[in-house]
Amino acid sequence: MKMNMLTKDLFHERMRSLQKDRTIKIIRVPIQTPTLWPHTETNCYLIGNDKESLLVDAGYDHQTTKKELERAILENSLAKPKSIILTHSHPDHALGVRQLIDWSPIVYCHNDEKQAIMAAISPVNELSILNDDDIIRIAGLDITVIHTPGHTAGHLSLYIASEEILIAGDNIVTDGTTWIGPPDGDMTDYVHTLNRLKQLKITKIGPGHGEWVLNPHEQIEFVLERRLYRESQIKSLLKEHKQLTSNRLTNLIYKNTIHPSIYEVAKRTTEAHLIKLMKEDHVSLKDSVYSLRS
């Protein structure tokens, strides 16, 4: 029996609607957080379709977090996430889990980040562990977990090879560079992470802060070059001044060009470079004063 024209139109419209609903979506959801200047928002990411989805990072512990995430879920016809992957433990990325307790999510992180995240998201007290090269499948989409230490010891990134997309957490930000420093960060690890990320086939990066990065390899190379330039600058300043504290080095490097609110993390980034240089036997430390090894 033939379909009449109206019935056929309705059928095809319904099929298009179903196809649209099954399409995998990767949605950046910026959430207002008390993060570091010049940023005012932290990115969360929803990945999935109307049947299944996951959330990457959870923003900050205030009501706006849940409101904005649920708005994005509704607007994009996504299923409510039953899994949350935290890239790392910092408050602007992890604390929002507290707002999402009624989702009854499984919360994932790397084992090296477990202790810090447990402290951050209490009273949530159960975490599942992800390891390097684990594969997560959401709505038929394979997502590769990459352990990307540097910003923190247990930092995770997610690589969606079929879409050529990297969700980078705070390894990459749209404006400028991320900070790396003790006690959580390690510059040696971070440089290794950047070199690893350079090898991925990607056309877009979802950063921890800022808009989608559409020139991914150029941005990774920019960050790597900035870190190596800063290392060279520190060695030159130590050669010129012989002995310097990390405070004095930071002042010489930035010369009042940075916002006062980020001076502390700038100093910690300087210290991370110094720790790397000490590991490589280029620099020594005595009584809080750094100098080049002869």
In this predicted model, what pLDDT tens digit does every residue of 29-47 receive, in sequence order?
999 998 877 778 999 999 9
Tokens at 16, concatenated: 């298009």
Find the mean pLDDT for residues 143-171: 98
Is the pLDDT at 5 greater than 50? The verdict is no
pLDDT exceeds cutoff 90 at 22:
no
pTM, to two decimals = 0.90
Q: Which two tokens stand for residue 205?
A: 């990066």
Q: What is the pLDDT of residue 278?
A: 98
CATH topology for the 230-292 domain = Arc Repressor Mutant, subunit A (1.10.10)
Mean pLDDT, range 175-203, rounded to an integer:
96
- pLDDT score recorded for residue 261: 86
Q: Which residues contact 50 (CB under 8 A, 6 or more apart)?
A: 21, 22, 77, 78, 79
Q: Which two tokens stand for residue 114?
A: 């477990």
Q: Which of the four pLDDT bands, split at 50, 70 and 90, describes residue 25?
A: very high
Domain with CATH 1.10.10.10 in the chain: 230-292
What gap in Å lies between CA 49 and CA 70, rounded to an integer? 14
Q: According to the model, what pLDDT value does residue 4 have? A: 52
What are the residues facing 143 on neighbouring strands?
A: 136
CATH superfamily of 8-215: Ribonuclease Z/Hydroxyacylglutathione hydrolase-like (3.60.15.10)
Confidence of residue 12 (pLDDT cuts 50, 70, 90): low
